[in-house]
Amino acid sequence: MIQFIGKSMLCAVIAVMGSLACQAQTVLSPAVPSRIEVHALPTQTLTGDEFLKGTDKGKAHLLGAELRIPQGQKAKFPAVVLIHGSGGVSGSMDLWVHALNQAGIATLVVDTFSGRGITSTVQDQTLLHSLAMMVDGYRGLDLLAKHPRIDATKISIMGFSKGAVASVFSASTRFKTLYGSPAKFASHIGLYTPCNTRFMADSEVTGAPMRFFHGTSDDYVNVVPCRAFVAELKNKGVDATLTEFPNTQHGYDSPLAPEKLAVPTAQSTRNCQFVEKTKGELFNVQSGAPFSYTDPCVAVGAHVGHNPDSTAKTVKSVVEFLQSL
């Protein structure tokens, strides 16, 4: 009798486990990748001046980059290099990874901080120049262009705030010549992009389409300079658009943030405009003084905040745009 009950319980357990396995296979989300790879990404660290002057003698660093390949039977997938902002890789990055993977797009998240011993640049932007992160983006492109599961003709780059400098201005033919390779980004996407620093010939671009997304309430990174930059790009025949969202703060796609949160120690150049007058030298447009984070126009204190509606619209627009390439 005991033996019979034991066999019956064993059969029941096996049946339940089999049922759960079948259910798990049935409800498996398409956001779950088919493969995850963690790559070492060799790069170099340059100051802003070094970058603009075209030096190749920056300090060598090894970064981490996580590649997620979506489900599907395709031999090769389109991909996006993702470049984080001043706070490092955050929860909003995970949102984008899942949304893009679910849409059949591979993602390469480049951690530009940890390999350099940096946690955050929110309080001190001099720890790593935004332009140095562009070199990291180009190296991510090179990695993906050689990957057997990635379509080298459909690799885009997308950045957030500080990382959007890398994603947007990597379209510059000048910068691509200096730090890129024969591989080319299929598109450039920036969320709340700092457009208030203009570089020599920065509107002379590769011709890949460009997409900007920004909140009009953003008091961390001002949207106004992006309007002028996008208008200039359009006048030159570039497929560039700026989508603005009202009542939307900086970092609006971060699901972990409240509607509005003060960041009292954040460095912000929202009141500044800088321009590269001569190669490798940035100046304050208003004062004519050389660029410095001690400039009176640099503010301390700003806000961030999540806007679910603006986030949903941005995700939908980005996914549809990438799928159209």
Which comes out higher in pLDDT, residue 31 or 285? 285
H or E element, residue 65 = strand 59-69
**Closest by CA position to 88, among listed 104, 109, 108:** 109
Classify 151 in phi/psi space as left (phi over 0), alpha (psi -120 to 50) or beta.
Answer: beta
Cα 250 from chain centre: 14
Instruction: Record the tokens describing residue 253, joined without a space.
Output: 């796609």
Q: Tokens representing 121? A: 């640049």
The confidence score (pLDDT) of residue 57 equals: 83
pLDDT single digits (tens) 261-308: 999 999 999 999 999 998 889 999 989 999 888 899 999 999 999 999
CB 188, CB 157: distance < 8 Å = yes
Q: Confidence class of residue 20 from pLDDT cuts 50, 70 and 90? A: very low
> How much is the pLDDT for 112?
98
**Residue 28's pLDDT band (cuts 50, 70, 90):** confident
Q: Which residues contact 191 (CB under 8 A, 6 or more apart)?
A: 158, 159, 160, 161, 164, 213, 214, 253, 314
Strand partners, 66: 38, 109
Instruction: Give mean pLDDT, residues 140-165.
Output: 98
229 has a pLDDT exceeding 90: yes
For position 41, what pLDDT does the model report?
A: 98
Token output for 44:
């170099």
114-123 pLDDT, tens digit per residue, is 999 999 999 9
Look at 1 and 299; give whichever has higher pLDDT: 299
Buried b / exposed e over 183-211, threshold 16 CB at 10 Å, is bbbbbbbbbbbbbbbbbeebbebbebbbb
Per-chain mean pLDDT for the chain = 92
CA distance 221 to 273: 11
**What is the rounded average pLDDT of the residues 123-130?**
96
pLDDT at residue 62 in the model: 98
Q: Tell me the pLDDT tens digit for each residue of 166-207.
A: 999 999 999 999 999 999 999 999 999 999 999 999 999 999
Look at residue 10 and tell me whether its pLDDT is greater than 70: no
28 Cβ contact list (under 8 Å, min separation 6): none
Q: Which are the contacts of 250, defined by CB distance < 8 A and separation ≥ 6?
A: 161, 192, 215, 218, 219, 220, 221, 302, 303, 304, 305
**Single-letter residue type at 43:** T
Q: What's the pLDDT score for residue 31?
A: 86
Written as one letter, the residue type at 33 is: P
The token pair that represents 140 in the structure block: 């991510």
The CATH T-level fold of domain 30-255+307-324 is Rossmann fold (3.40.50)
* pLDDT score at 248: 98
The answer on pLDDT for 12 being more than 50 is no
